[in-house]
Amino acid sequence: MQIFKSLGIGLSLLLLPVCASAADGEQRAGLQMISADELPAPTLADLQASARPYRVGPFDKLTIDVFGSEELSNKEVQVDASGRITFPLVGTVEVAGKTPGEVSIALQDLFRGRFIKDPQISVNLKEIVSQTVTIGGEVKKPGVYPIVGKMTLMTAIASAEGWTDISSRGAVAVFRTVGGKDYAALYNVKAIQKGTFPDPEIYASDVVMVGDSQGRKIWKDFLGASPLLAPFIYVLTNKN
């Protein structure tokens, strides 16, 4: 998914097939708009690794220390596209899908008895590349942000340094691909802040778009055209 300049542009590009299907009654391939509580979580196949706890993925950078060996300490390595690293003495090691602690154990097993009697090896994340979320629209610092541990919609927006002066907290969209299908859900963050609705979890590869007042109007027009989206109309138009 691309980062959209504004929520309005994003809708005009993504929701056209859905509007057409609502008009002619045929189901067509395209973005599927659903109510917020029905937005499915990605599977392990979608993520290639669980986001909680963090699991190493392609192109992540690690710092590895073998205690007692100056030559093998403070080694920075990058995971290749296939999820492997190369480390002195032990060669190629599969690390994708493992936590840093599990990578440490794997390295200790490879060293034990062959090179070091009782190896102690620490593995730390230096740079996260594989699990990220894109945050765009009316936030102070749009961009791509790493996911470490659990991220919710509120913490995602905070990661992008919060709202701009023209942000619409009643029109925040989350785009997600699950099982090869594209989904989108619309959230009223004002209602989340009041505790009316739970703060939804954000996963790797999600796209979060914060709209402005014009984007909010486009959402209302679109939602009004589809009776299947009726549960969202109240949330969107409620100004309390």
Three-state SS for 48-99 is CCCCCCCCCCCCCEEEEEECCCCCCCCEEEECCCCCEEEECCCEEEECCCCC
CA distance 93 to 86: 6
E strand map for 148-200: 151-152, 167-178, 181-187
Q: Are 7 and 211 in contact (CB under 8 A)?
A: yes
Q: What is the pLDDT at residue 108?
A: 95
Q: What is the pLDDT at residue 109?
A: 95
What number of CA atoms fall less than 13 Å from residue 233's CA on the CB side? 11
Q: Are 67 and 20 in contact (CB under 8 A)?
A: no
Tokens of 81: 């596209």
**Measuring CA to CA, which residue among 149, 56, 48 is closest to residue 64?**
56
Tokens of 33: 């708009």
Q: What is the pLDDT at residue 74?
A: 93
Q: What is the pLDDT at residue 40?
A: 81
Which residues, 6+ apart, have CB-to-CB distance to 56 below 8 Å?
49, 62, 79, 83, 95, 96, 97, 98, 99, 100, 103, 125, 130
User: Residue 134's beta-bridge partner residues?
Assistant: 144, 207
Task: Collect the ranges in the chain with pLDDT lower than 50.
Answer: 1-29, 49-51, 227-240
Q: Which domains does the chain have, with CATH numbers?
A: 7-48+131-237 (3.10.560.10), 61-127 (3.30.1950.10)
Q: What is the pLDDT at residue 8?
A: 40
Sign of CA dihedral 186, 192, 196, 199: positive
* Cα–Cα distance list, 122 to 27, 74, 190, 209 (Å): 52, 10, 43, 38
Strands 201-202 and 151-152: antiparallel
Q: pLDDT digits over 128-183, tens only?
A: 777 788 999 999 999 888 776 789 999 999 999 999 988 888 889 898 888 888 88
